[in-house]
Chains A and B, each alone.
Chain A
Amino acid sequence: MAVLVRSPLPRLRALLQRCWGRLERSLWPGVFGGQNPPWGPALAVQGLALVPQGINDAGESSAEAPSLLESIVWMAAPKQRRTIEVNRCRRRHPTKLIEIKRNIDVCPECGNLKQKHVLCGYCYAKVKEETRLIRMEIHRKEGGPFNVPAVETVVLYEGEKPTEKDEGKRIIERARKRPSWFVQN
């Protein structure tokens, strides 16, 4: 990208002259040659003796509200920057590292991993899905809110007939084979 450079010398020279003039006037005020007369007081008026009273006021004001200032002064603040070595010692201390878990086993039903004191996630998800479908059937049968019958419910799968024990109970039909984990009474 070509940039047109005109000769900057006359402009630059004028700028420098102006700067030097300002500098001269500021450093040697009387020497310039009389065109700019030196600064002097145009009007002298006796000023009020405010200075000693001003000192007293400042002292009083500082004595009046010391509690606020002092309480700010004594707050805890770090004195030195913590170096990265110190930071690393703190962040990588064994107590801060994650411990490896030794309570993981294999679920005998599905073969996925499970924690010893917790139900297997996969098997629980299967049961949850089946329960959701049963609940949908119940909802369809009831047809609306507040229609819950005052009897027990029995879930029957394909090819199952209600027995004598299921005489007065509400029957929910599910159109699939009975899952192995849902034991029939």
Chain B
Amino acid sequence: SGAAWARGLLSWAQPERWLASGSLLPLSCIHTSTSLQKSMKWEKKNRIVYPPQLPGEPRRPAEIYHCRREIKYSKDKMWYLAKLIKGLSIDQALAQLEFSDKKGAKVIREVLLEAQEMAVRKHNVEFKSNLHIAESQTGRGRYVKRVRCHGKGMFGMMKISRCHYFVKLVEGPPPPPEPPRTGFDQAKEYVQQLRNRTLVHTL
């Protein structure tokens, strides 16, 4: 009841549309929610409104945040699929997931299609193929402990795991992959580190 009271008190201090100017930081020293309450931060990210851009600025690409909660799958197994589609364009990601044999692939495909539709309808995205996956993460859902019966009357406790899946689509072609770090690059960095050495507290 104390947490609810604090939440009620601070609700006026957290307006629905807060400007992303960077100077307004939420109070991080007070806990306004407990661990049992569901955190809906990813959904709130869709609601931020940027100030209008100046005429000279380059166009800010559209960002779409979408997630699905309490998927009946393991977060570690889902992570492999999330890692697969990180940094791909949305068409490539849908193709890879269509022919993957994993259970989570079907779920992630649905999430991506939903997000694509949301982007076109609500977030002013012109071409539905002009999206790429900037972030894709998994999170732990609520676990439930159950009895697993073994032979001879023995039993163990198993946990039925669920996971969340989060995805952020950004308008534009996917960024080019980083070139792998060669030995020459490492040597250059080493030499640069040696050159940066100076004497401190001297003339």
Contact = CB atoms under 8 A, between A and B. Distances in A.
Interface of A: 91-92, 96-98, 100-101, 104, 113, 115
A97 B99 contact: no
A92 B86 CA distance: 14
A67 to B, nearest CB: 23
A65 to B, nearest CB: 22
Main secondary structure of the interface of A (DSSP, over half): loop
Interface in B67-105: 76, 80-81, 83-84, 88, 92, 95-96, 98-100, 102
A133 to B, nearest CB: 27
Interface residue range, chain B? 10 to 19
Contacts of B88: 100
B81 A113 contact: no
Contacts of A97: 80, 83-84
A96 B84 CA distance: 11
B96 A101 contact: yes
18 contacts: A91-B76, A92-B83, A96-B80, A97-B80, A97-B83, A97-B84, A98-B102, A100-B84, A100-B92, A100-B96, A101-B95, A101-B99, A104-B95, A104-B96, A104-B98, A104-B99, A113-B98, A113-B99
Contacts of A113: 95, 98-99
A92 B84 CA distance: 12
A131 B80 CA distance: 39
Nearest to B80: A98
Nearest to A99: B84
Contact of B99 (A91, A96, A115): A115
A174 to B, nearest CB: 32
A15 B127 CA distance: 80
A82 to B, nearest CB: 15
Given A104-B95, A113-B98, A115-B99, A98 B76 contact: no
Closest 10 A/B residue pairs (Cβ) = A98-B84, A104-B95, A98-B80, A113-B95, A100-B96, A115-B99, A101-B99, A113-B98, A97-B83, A101-B96
Contacts of B80: 96-98
Contacts of A100: 84, 88, 92, 96
Contacts of A91: 76
Contacts of B96: 100-101, 104
Nearest to B94: A113
A92 B82 CA distance: 12
Nearest to B81: A98
Nearest to A96: B80
A185 B83 CA distance: 51
A101 B98 CA distance: 11
